Amino acid sequence: MVSVEEKLLVNVLYKEEREALQGIDISNVNFENFMKLASRHLMLPALFFNINKKNLSHLFPEDFIECIKNIYSINKARNKILLKEAKELSELLYKNNINHIFLKGTALLLSNVFEDIGERMLCDIDFIIQHKNEEKVIKLLNKHNYFNSSLELYQPLFKIFKAKHIPRLINKNKIMALELHTELSSAEWRSVFNAKELINDFKKEIETIKIPSKSFLFDHCIYALQFEDKRFFNSHHSHRSIYDIYKLDCKKSLTIKNIKKNVYIKHYFLTIDKFKIFDIHIKTTLLSSYFDKLFRLINILLLKHLIRRVHKFGYKLTRIIQLFYDIKFSEHALNKISIHYHHKTLSKYIYGWLKA
């Protein structure tokens, strides 16, 4: 059941001005819960932008409007810095002949899908490079004061267990951290969505600012939520993700035919169908619903548990092997043991680590 607060959020974000109160008694709205809901979905800046654009401020308490206006202003100023630092990063990579593509929220801002750069909340500058350039880019970024203390220790010996991105790189003189990707998904999901999706973009001539197509951003937005945020295994939704899809306005992708052919995208739109945001209604039969649930159950059993456990154990096994070949890693491990686990033997520590 959709709460009155969420109905109001949906109407303000996605409907016309005249529909803002459709099916809502404003006297029943708890504005404290409304604020918490919008904050939980990272939608406070977008909420203020739409209230202001649609002339709806009279519906809300003055202190509420003032509060979200301040959050919007801070977020807009931060996003201006993000765009500046993203362009500086791109110029640095361009000068060093490194092909790169911006991803996620950074790509959405750079592609101008939002009417106002203050609408979208972001954490990092996400971009992807090819595996062959990973070491070169890390050295280049280290040279320009982007560091992470755990960077030297994160690399597993075998590529099959590689993470989709290296640990976040931080520059004390910059506002935004960098999230350097070599893959689009975690290891267990790469058979569905992987970096090969961008192979044609990487083949193109190197540009200072390169972003994927809207259709790719549409897919990545949904897959990131379904896979990395584990939403495929439940019926939870994210208004930040919905808002991204809404702003991308991918009419070619938003067809029942395209949605129904992919169980992950289908589940995404079935989950948000109750809001009636998109002009789509996916009819489900009892049989199709049964098979969709069965497929999700198989995914939960095989991917969420079995494969993740194998991946986790394999990752730890490579770490143990690495102890005997990597001097820095072994010194770090022994130092950690001596500080935190001085009362245990090395074998007990390793056993406990593997068990965890």
Predicted confidence at residue 235, as pLDDT, reads 78
Token digits for 169? 């790189």
State how far the Cα of 299 lies from the Cα of 232, in Å rounded to an integer.
9
Q: What is the pTM of this model?
A: 0.80
- The residues near 64 (Cβ < 8 Å, ≥ 6 apart) are 31, 35
118-177: per-residue pLDDT in tens?
Answer: 999 998 999 999 989 999 999 999 999 999 876 655 555 445 557 778 889 999 999 999
String of DSSP letters for 181-210: ES-SS-GGGTTTS-GGGGHHHHHSPP-SS-
Backbone angles phi, psi at 179, to 5 degrees: -120, 100
Backbone angles phi, psi at 343, to 5 degrees: -90, 0
267-308: per-residue pLDDT in tens?
Answer: 889 889 899 999 877 766 555 554 565 555 566 556 555 555
57-97: per-residue pLDDT in tens?
Answer: 999 999 999 999 999 999 999 999 999 999 999 999 999 99
Predicted confidence at residue 256, as pLDDT, reads 72
Query: In Å, what is the CA distance from 110 to each residue of 10, 104, 175, 220, 227?
Result: 25, 10, 18, 16, 24
Predicted confidence at residue 301, as pLDDT, reads 59
Mean pLDDT, rounded, of the chain: 83
For residue 36, what pLDDT band results from cuts at 50, 70 and 90? Answer: very high
Greater confidence (177 vs 347) lies with: 177
